[in-house]
Structure 1
Amino acid sequence: MMTLEIARVAGQGDGVADTPQGPVFAPLTLPGEAVRGEVTDGRMEAVEVLRASPDRIAPVSPHYGDCGGCSLQHWAAGPYLDWKRAQVISALARERIETEVEATVAVPAGTRRRLALHARRLEDGRVVLGFKARKSWRVVEVTVCPVADPRLVAAFPALARVAAAFLEHPKSAPTLHVTWTLDGLDVDVTGVERRSGGLSADRRMQAIRIAREAGLARLSLAGEPLMMERQPRVQFGPALVPLPAGGFLQAVPEAEAAMTSRAVAAVKGAKKVADLFCGAGTFSFPLATVASVVAADASVAGIAALKAGIVSTRGLKPIAAEARDLFRRPLTPHDLKGCEAIVFDPPRAGAIEQTAQIAGTKAAVVVGVSCNPQTFARDARVLIDTGFRLETVTPVDQFLWSAHVELVGIFRR
């Protein structure tokens, strides 16, 4: 057993104690705490807090400590949000970037509209839904979730019945990607064993029947619709957009609003704006209230949904949308001719190939949206080295009580 003092919280949310043998990571601990536990390979397990931080608060979830979804639920809001801001500052510093980093935008509990729920059948035959345990493949059955929209939580029992139909093969490990939309629950299931022939016709019919009984708007298998009672729609700015099966959507509406409002404010005055990695139009439609938009994304289904939203929405500036892989074929300065501002919101891997093309454009303003401060900082360095200044960065706490942080950065030439 070792007794250590926690010096700081690391990037993945674990407390860190500095020792002569190197750092020791202790989960669910806070700076200034004295802790005791067994240490193996630089990690403390079965942590006992001997002296608690004054910033420690009571967790609100009964699954806290076992469920791997919330690693920071025990931290008071002020220092927790400051830590997220510090993570952004640290990522920028590694690329030698100094700028104004605003206070982290907080989001309330009970607002997350998307969950990925893992389904497993227990030895007694009961099917449970939940999240992975901390540092484990084991699934923790979750009956309540203070992060999630209460309408999702209320559907857990029905979703467990739906999941049972997809546990036909012993190697299947279904994940239900559940989204609350304007038209009810949209569920896309992945992780079903395919080598054995996939889901049988009988199990498909069982899944469809249970989904209808549960009142789901749509049920799909790896993006292939099995049943649709109502087309799931979401609202982006003034547009109602049909959400593609398995399509990307920002997790929390309040976080999305914080990011889109900053993007729109930054590009005001531009007559033509590019929206890169646009998905189904999260930013495209709000941007089209102030400028014409050139939108591009690799998702064919996302672009089709965006075009459907264009057709059904009045009062927008023109939007030209193209399905294009921006990693393999980034838009060139020629493609972006006339764009006075550019917004990009890439996956976690960042947008290094596309960012390299922006310097040759005439864009005076660039808005970078990111769920990964490290790749954002790397891409920001490319823009800064080619004549842009990173004016401000705003962290957004979209993934409440986790170590993840979103951000919006405003660049001006």
Structure 2
Amino acid sequence: MTEHRIIRLGHHGDGIAEGPLYAAMTLPGETVSGTVQNDTLTDVRILEPSDQRVAPPCRHFKSCGGCQLQHASDDFVAGWKQEFVRSSLGAQGVDAELRPIVTSPAQSRRRATFAARRTKKSAMAGFHGRASDVIIEIPDCKLLHPDLTGGLDIAAHLALIGTSRKAALAVTVTLSDAGLDVSVSQGKPLDGPLRHTLAQATEALGLARLSWDGETIAMRLRPVQRFGKADVLPPPGAFLQATRHGEAALCDAVKEAVGPAARIADLFAGCGTFTLPLADTARVHAVEGVPEMLEALDQGWRLAEGLKPVSTEARDLYRRPMLPDELSRFDAIVLDPPRAGAERQVAEIVRTDVPRIAYVSCNPVTFARDAATLVGAGYTLDWVQVVDQFRWSPHTELAACFSKPV
């Protein structure tokens, strides 16, 4: 065992000592001891704790891999995430006003993917253990919305039906007003008997919908999600913001960023998280690479009342970004790309005079890269709103406003 001083936290939430050496569940300023294995400290003991160290609120924290930062105070985590965004921008030579962070409350996650496996006598479901394939049962999880915890028993029941003891199911459970929307992957191949058994399980378990490897097995009730004035039925397993609280904060930021724009392009639009609320006051063109998501968006818009026109376009914006002549007809652009960011699309945007851009990001590093391109082309980064809807994790999201004089 050797002693080490933790200097800072890495982007994955591990403490970093000289070396570098990585030590899970440690904080800057702490003196720790442990056994060095390659670049990792194991069997870590805290010799001198940080004054920001707190008792983890969840009894599963030490074994479960769902959270990384429950041992740190809320103020520390908020400041660390703000600094992560600030330093990412600074590395690209960009400065910005960072508004106070918006953090979703505990037990507000409306979507989770559980691992489920058969055992000798029954089945179990939970999250994978820290750096492990072992499944940890989490009956007292402090992340999940109380109505979502019922998905654990459902996942275990589906493991009895649809997997062997050698494999684990991935069971994505999403809250909807109609009940739980369950999408399963990594299970047995579908055949006639399995379809019949799963359909019976959908009824017996009271599920709104059950899907297996992307195919809907049964739908008792429509598990719609509300986006603005529209009710949208997402395709099985479709992306959804992790909490209603976080989605509302991002949506408010996007609306502020686009301002009074009358014509908006929503790029990487998904099922309409931003498109449909924006259509309350503006014409919106939604572009997304997954046609099924756009079909859900379009149907939701058609069934809603009082919305401005919404058009859709299925397009892979990584391979075929929208060009300046296509973008020039819009007053504002919304960007909400995956973690890789929107490098090629931003390269086309800077060749336009579109005056306002709302950029939503789940990766401060790629956001900072794209922000530097926009700023270098004459845009001003007016403000950044950091949103923490993945509480107690290193995951950081944000919304930002860019503007350019017309």
Q: TM-score range by the shorter chain?
A: over 0.9
* Conservation of the 8 A alpha-carbon contact between 2:169 and 2:187: yes
Instruction: Note the C-alpha offset of 1:253.
Output: 0.7
**Equivalence map 1:27-42=2 (5 Å):** 27-42=24-39
Secondary structure of 2:162's counterpart equals coil
* Conservation of the 8 A alpha-carbon contact between 2:118 and 2:159: no
Q: 1:350 maps to what in 2?
A: 341
- Deviation string 1:241-280 (CA, Å, 9 cap, x unpaired) is 1121121111111101001101111212211011000011
- Deviation string 1:277-331 (CA, Å, 9 cap, x unpaired) is 0011000011112211111101111100111111111111111111111111111
- Unaligned 5+ residue runs, structure 2? none
Does residue 16 of structure 2 align to residue 12 of structure 1? no
- Deviation string 1:51-87 (CA, Å, 9 cap, x unpaired) is 2222111112121011111000111111110001111
Q: 2:122 maps to what in 1?
A: 126
CA distance in 2, matches of 1:258, 1:125: 45
Q: 1:64 maps to what in 2?
A: 61
Among 359, 366, 388, the residue aligned to 1:368: 359
**Equivalence map 1:56-135=2 (5 Å):** 56-122=53-119, 124-135=120-131
Q: 1:219 maps to what in 2?
A: 210
* Conservation of the 8 A alpha-carbon contact between 1:82 and 1:103: no
CA distance in 2, matches of 1:102, 1:266: 13
CA distance in 1, matches of 2:75, 2:192: 53
- Deviation string 1:376-410 (CA, Å, 9 cap, x unpaired) is 11111221222211111111101110010001111
Instruction: Note the C-alpha offset of 1:162.
Output: 2.0
CA distance in 2, matches of 1:9, 1:118: 28
Q: 2:175 maps to what in 1?
A: 180
* Conservation of the 8 A alpha-carbon contact between 1:130 and 1:142: yes
- Deviation string 1:329-384 (CA, Å, 9 cap, x unpaired) is 11112222320100010111111111111112331011110111111111112212
- Deviation larger for 95-104 or 278-287: 95-104
* Conservation of the 8 A alpha-carbon contact between 2:116 and 2:155: no
CA distance in 1, matches of 2:140, 2:201: 22
CA distance in 2, matches of 1:228, 1:402: 33
Does residue 136 of structure 2 align to residue 140 of structure 1? yes
Does residue 191 of structure 2 align to residue 200 of structure 1? yes
Instruction: Note the C-alpha offset of 1:171.
Output: 5.4
CA distance in 2, matches of 1:94, 1:161: 49
CA distance in 2, matches of 1:271, 1:171: 55
* Conservation of the 8 A alpha-carbon contact between 2:151 and 2:173: no
Secondary structure of 2:153's counterpart equals helix
Does residue 182 of structure 2 align to residue 191 of structure 1? no
- Deviation string 1:180-233 (CA, Å, 9 cap, x unpaired) is 01211001111235xxxx233323322222221111000001221011111110
Secondary structure of 1:278's counterpart equals coil
Q: Which amino acid aligns with 2:86?
A: I
Q: Which amino acid aligns with 1:103?
A: P
* Conservation of the 8 A alpha-carbon contact between 1:273 and 1:341: yes
* Conservation of the 8 A alpha-carbon contact between 1:55 and 1:75: yes
TM-score normalised to the size of structure 1?
Answer: 0.95
- Deviation string 1:87-127 (CA, Å, 9 cap, x unpaired) is 111211221111112222111011110001011223x2421
Secondary structure of 1:5's counterpart equals strand
| Percent identical residues | 41
CA distance in 1, matches of 2:123, 2:194: 15
**Equivalence map 1:246-395=2 (5 Å):** 246-395=237-386
Q: 1:153 maps to what in 2?
A: 149
* Conservation of the 8 A alpha-carbon contact between 2:22 and 2:40: yes
CA distance in 1, matches of 2:193, 2:30: 56
Query: Number of residues paired by the alignment?
Result: 404
Q: 1:234 maps to what in 2?
A: 225
* Conservation of the 8 A alpha-carbon contact between 2:328 and 2:352: yes
Secondary structure of 1:49's counterpart equals strand
Q: Which amino acid aligns with 2:272?
A: G
CA distance in 2, matches of 1:343, 1:357: 14
- Unaligned 5+ residue runs, structure 1? none
* Conservation of the 8 A alpha-carbon contact between 2:207 and 2:220: yes
CA distance in 2, matches of 1:143, 1:199: 30
* Conservation of the 8 A alpha-carbon contact between 1:165 and 1:204: no
Among 21, 33, 49, the residue aligned to 1:52: 49
CA distance in 1, matches of 2:279, 2:391: 30
Q: 2:2 maps to what in 1?
A: 2
Secondary structure of 1:209's counterpart equals helix
Say what the alpha-carbon RMSD is for the aligned residues: 1.4
CA distance in 2, matches of 1:32, 1:89: 21
Secondary structure of 1:410's counterpart equals strand
Moved over 4 A (4+): none
- Deviation larger for 348-357 or 270-279: 348-357
Q: Which amino acid aligns with 1:7?
A: I
* Conservation of the 8 A alpha-carbon contact between 1:268 and 1:290: no
TM-score normalised to the size of structure 2?
Answer: 0.96
CA distance in 2, matches of 1:166, 1:103: 46
Q: 2:401 maps to what in 1?
A: 410
CA distance in 1, matches of 2:93, 2:402: 16
Q: Which amino acid aligns with 1:329?
A: R
Question: Would the alpha carbon gap of residues 125 and 199 (structure 1) be closer, same or farther in structure 2, given more than 3 Å must change?
Answer: farther
CA distance in 2, matches of 1:69, 1:10: 17
Q: Which amino acid aligns with 2:73?
A: A
CA distance in 1, matches of 2:187, 2:319: 30
CA distance in 1, matches of 2:309, 2:154: 42
